[in-house]
């Protein structure tokens, strides 16, 4: 997780001239597009299972939808672009890259054209007046990580525009179903604004809580423990918004899952102790259980007495004194995005 201030900087990008020629023609179909956008906004996957609240969603998005953590208004000249930092809306989904384009469901976000006409943000994107994509390796500056990611919004039309993006505006990878944004989410952002928490980790974690994720999910996915004070702050914000989600529950869920996998793997595997060098620069004591095929389990000691972190893994290379492993999320089985490269485990001497 990477806390800190979000800096939304504006950079100029070269936009292909062919895209700007369509702008005036596309303006004439904005009214039709608004109807289509509203229809798409009705498609949503449930944020909680059908049987009740507080569980995992029944579908996972392929790429992250995102919510703006704070309000912002800005202008864009033709060919100009800006970067927006967004909250990750789905803890388990992949972060978008430059090949992933976004649209925006109907909301209070607006685009004002040079003529003074105001249209919805999603309408402007669908009409080709604006383009929004994920961050690419050639985009300047380091990108945020963990609960944040960046998108690039560019003016692909032939006229200057003014864009207003209120807190909580939703961006969705094009072609994916739109997650439901309930009145409770809007209350959450209002409570965060009242408490001076817009743009903070506390609000990001509370957003995840409304999507059914728990403190344990956040810690295990982010490869970092939260303090009890941080967790209580999230629960207090949920309470202030009159939301009944329990961010603190499920603390033993990963332990049970690890123990089940451990019992299944142990008969054909060997165990070793060591130290893991983590991507955030921290080292942690680790117990590794691995079989000859490279299938493995890791139990990492939590920071400062916190609960352990549990992962599946694939052994990439074996050396007499160390292992190189790829960490896999224990629930999803997918590579852990908080550790995108091999993790070195230094083995203890016998």
Whether 207 and 218 have beta carbons less than 8 Å apart is answered as no
Asked whether residue 37 carries a pLDDT value surpassing 50, the answer given is no
H/E element, 31: helix 30-41
Q: How many CB atoms lie within 10 A of CB 211?
A: 21
Listed range (3-7, 139-143, 153-157, 239-243) with the worst mean pLDDT: 3-7
Residue-wise burial string across 247-268, b where 16 or more C-beta atoms lie within 10 A, e elsewhere = beebeebbeeebeebbeebeee
Fold topology of 254-347: PH-domain like (2.30.29)
Per-residue pLDDT tens over the stretch 106-135: 999 999 999 999 999 999 999 999 999 998
Give the separation between CA 347 and CA 350, rounded to whole angstroms: 9
Per-residue pLDDT tens over the stretch 190-216: 999 999 998 889 999 999 999 889 999
Per-residue pLDDT tens over the stretch 274-317: 999 988 788 899 999 999 999 999 999 977 768 899 999 999 99
Q: How many CB atoms lie within 10 A of CB 83?
A: 20
Asked whether residue 56 carries a pLDDT value surpassing 70, the answer given is no
Stretch 155-163: mean pLDDT, rounded?
Answer: 95
pTM above 0.75, yes or no: no
Beta pairing, strands 148-155 & 170-173: unpaired
Q: In the chain, where are the structural domains located? A: 10-173, 183-240, 254-347
Give the separation between CA 56 and CA 41, rounded to whole angstroms: 21
Give the separation between CA 80 and CA 14, rounded to whole angstroms: 8
pLDDT band for position 154 (cuts 50, 70, 90): very high
Give the separation between CA 297 and CA 282, rounded to whole angstroms: 19
Give the separation between CA 256 and CA 260, rounded to whole angstroms: 6
Give the separation between CA 27 and CA 111, rounded to whole angstroms: 12
């Amino acid at each position: 997780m990477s806390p800190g201030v979000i800096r939304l900087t504006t950079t100029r990008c070269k936009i292909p001239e062919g895209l700007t020629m369509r702008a005036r023609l596309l303006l004439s179909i904005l009214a039709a597009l608004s109807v289509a956008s509203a229809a798409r906004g009705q498609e949503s996957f449930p944020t909680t299972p059908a049987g009740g609240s507080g569980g995992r969603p029944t579908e996972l998005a392929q790429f992250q939808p995102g919510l703006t953590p704070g309000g912002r208004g800005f202008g864009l000249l033709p060919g100009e672009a800006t970067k927006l930092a967004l909250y990750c809306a789905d803890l388990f989904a992949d972060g978008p890259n430059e090949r992933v384009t976004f649209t925006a469901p109907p909301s209070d976000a607006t685009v004002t054209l040079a003529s003074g006409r105001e249209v919805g943000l999603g309408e402007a994107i669908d009409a080709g007046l604006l383009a929004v994509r994920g961050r690419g390796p050639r985009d300047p500056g380091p990108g945020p990580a963990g609960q944040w990611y960046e998108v690039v919004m560019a003016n692909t039309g032939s006229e200057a525009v003014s864009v207003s993006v209120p807190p909580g505006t939703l961006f969705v990878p094009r072609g994916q179903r739109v997650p439901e944004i309930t009145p409770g989410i809007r209350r959450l952002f209002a409570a965060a604004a009242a408490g001076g928490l817009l743009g903070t980790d506390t609000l990001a974690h509370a957003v995840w809580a409304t999507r059914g994720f728990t403190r344990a999910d956040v810690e295990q996915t982010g490869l970092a423990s939260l303090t009890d004070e941080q967790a209580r702050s999230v629960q207090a914000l949920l309470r202030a918004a009159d939301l009944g989600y329990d961010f603190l529950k499920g603390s033993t869920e990963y332990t049970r899952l690890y123990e089940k996998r451990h019992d299944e793997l142990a008969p054909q595997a060997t165990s070793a102790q060591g130290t893991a060098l983590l991507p955030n620069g921290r080292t942690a004591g680790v117990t590794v259980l691995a079989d000859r095929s490279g299938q493995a389990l890791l139990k990492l000691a939590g920071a400062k007495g916190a609960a352990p972190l549990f992962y599946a893994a694939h052994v990439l290379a074996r050396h007499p004194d160390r292992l190189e492993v790829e960490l896999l999320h224990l629930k999803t089985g997918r590579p852990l995005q908080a550790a995108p490269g091999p993790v070195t485990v230094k083995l203890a001497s016998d």
